A and B are shown apart, each in its own frame.
Chain A
């Protein structure tokens, strides 16, 4: 009787052990989330750019004051001293303004930690050299162009529109915003594939234009087209719109 009772207990323990060991374990199998699209980016829209009112001098002054905080002044001696266009091809209106360094503020203009990207778009001195890596330095008497990229449908007027390229050696003579469709097809074979509008000017007696190559502003001289090995484009091309 006693043996039976202990035998039964032993069997119960063995059964409990086995059932515990045999308990199915949760599988360690990775499950990923479904694909998730990103948010709507205000600077990217499939609808045509909104018709914006022409820029007023007071708005331009206010924008320049906000971007440069007095370190650069509008060069009102140039006519016109500002124009607009979609220079980086993101369907958001950009502003380009002729500026000059404010007296005594040159160090701020040249500061590597400033709120703008200094660009010298002149063709490199050595033929075939495609990249310029030397430090760009703005002098007291340099005429400059400030290109302020727009943000969203409001373009350069948007308060978040602060991305600024400060371009030297490209401000001379009248400055005209030329639509992509006019400027590019005429020079198609000599140009990199650019998608934005261009800023036409005459620099040192040579007509040409500034264009955005995806990372920088570059100068195009139709008489002496520079070999561009790696043209870049950032946004939609006009053909896609």
Chain B
């Protein structure tokens, strides 16, 4: 009898062990198995040291670059590299927009915004959008007067536009959103509000495609691709992640600037680009301002006016361990299964303000812009893609096309309700 009980006990124990070992780990779309946690946030206040989200090690602030790059760089190391100003000796230009990431992404804290704008130009023809020689980006600076890009020398039929600098704080969480999640958001949107999803190449994955989410035109899907592009196109530093493996320098309205560039290509082996991406990945999400009763009333109106259909308030990132970026990045615990409040669906929409420039999305997207995340919008005075709305009410009034319904709901609000809605936006 005792022997039988022992044997049965052993079998029961073994069965339990097998069951425990067989429980599957959560896969994408099963995040409910683990309770998602709120992403840590920053107060967006330069007096506070609260930008690091816990990914990797924080390290100590770096004052100046005195040594060669170290392995396993800390957040502070990467922040230093993000803020570093490139020089002609580093390969700056010959045509460029600014000398460092932190020059444009600066306020109120590193990674934020600035008044700097990017200029784009092009031609509208019967056959669709045509780039000027050298591409739609018109660089506003050069290392030599002779290579400064100008619009004087192209056909006068061009049109041009400015685009404001986007905040990159919290971009690691945006990168960690599964493409499926963006697809699900779209499925839930009513017919007239549905966004446009485009897939764009992930440079570090040899051009394999992923759902786009970064840039005014949704040009990028990964932070390495975005950083590599910006390093080349905003600063003129060729690099292995710039889309041509660092072999192709920018031009001055199509003319070669080779004679002005004494640095061998690629000017960056990818080390700096990875530092930029890792800095962004290690930033917290932009935090909210004070939540007053007016803010809460305004938030309710924001939903009732259907603004939240495109300015999606909450998204949960993919579980830690999910392989994203077409196989090139695994979501770390610091970014995985986190609830973020970006107030964006990360899709393209036509709200009547588009600039006519075609980039990755094809001709149909020329007048579309990505729903800009409203987190951190209280740090801006120049609103919309062109910065030409200077008050929230003005920005709302400029919404047309797919946003017509929401604008018209704004019109029927009382002034007190409108003030509540503005209070809500001012809390973001």
Contacts and interface: CB of A to CB of B under 8 A. Distances in A.
Given A9-B10, A38-B350, A232-B386, A30 B18 contact: no
Contact of B367 (A31, A34, A189, A235): A235
Interface in B296-351: 318-319, 321-325, 327, 330, 347-350
Contact of A35 (B197, B322, B389): B197
Given A43-B400, A162-B411, A112 B391 contact: yes
Contacts of B330: 28
Nearest to B357: A233
Contact of B125 (A17, A114, A193, A239): A239
A181 to B, nearest CB: 14
B159 A233 contact: yes
Contacts of B321: 28
A39 B183 contact: no
A232 B161 contact: yes
Given A35-B197, A38-B349, A29 B323 contact: yes
Contacts of B405: 160
Given A27-B323, A38-B350, A41-B350, A111 B367 contact: no
Contacts, number: 199
Interface in B271-298: none
Nearest to B329: A30
Contacts of A234: 352-356, 367
> Interface size class for chain B?
35 or more
A162 B407 contact: yes
Interface stretch (A18-26, A47-55, A167-175): A18-26
Contact of A232 (B159, B209, B323): B159
A45 interface: no
Nearest to B336: A28
B352 A43 contact: yes
A88 B28 CA distance: 45
Contacts of A239: 124-126
Chain B at the A interface: mostly helix, strand, loop or mixed?
mixed
Nearest to A159: B408
Contact of B27 (A27, A37, A115, A231): A27
Interface stretch (B47-55, B95-103, B188-196, B245-253): B188-196
Interface residues of A, number: 60
B133 to A, nearest CB: 17
B17 A32 contact: no
B210 interface: yes
B28 A20 contact: no
Contacts of A43: 352, 400-401
Contact of B124 (A29, A149, A236): A236
Contacts of A233: 124, 159, 161, 355-356
B198 interface: yes
B402 A215 contact: no
A240 B124 contact: yes
B194 A38 contact: yes
A117 interface: yes
Contacts of B255: none
A36 interface: yes
B16 to A, nearest CB: 10
A39 B405 CA distance: 15
Contacts of B27: 26-28
Contacts of A115: 397, 410-411
Nearest to B397: A117
B135 interface: no
Contact of A28 (B125, B128, B183, B323): B323
A235 B397 CA distance: 18
A228 B178 CA distance: 43
Interface string B133-176: 00000000000000000000000111111100000000000000
A32 to B, nearest CB: 3
Given A113-B419, A162-B411, A36 B397 contact: no
B312 to A, nearest CB: 15
Most buried by A among B322, B323, B350: B350
B418 interface: yes
B85 interface: no
Q: Which 5 A-B pairs have the closest CB atoms?
A: A32-B179, A33-B183, A20-B21, A38-B196, A215-B388
Given A30-B178, A32-B209, A215-B398, 11 more contacts: A9-B11, A19-B18, A26-B24, A29-B327, A30-B180, A38-B194, A41-B401, A90-B352, A234-B354, A235-B354, A235-B356
7 contacts: A19-B18, A28-B318, A28-B319, A30-B318, A215-B386, A230-B161, A234-B355
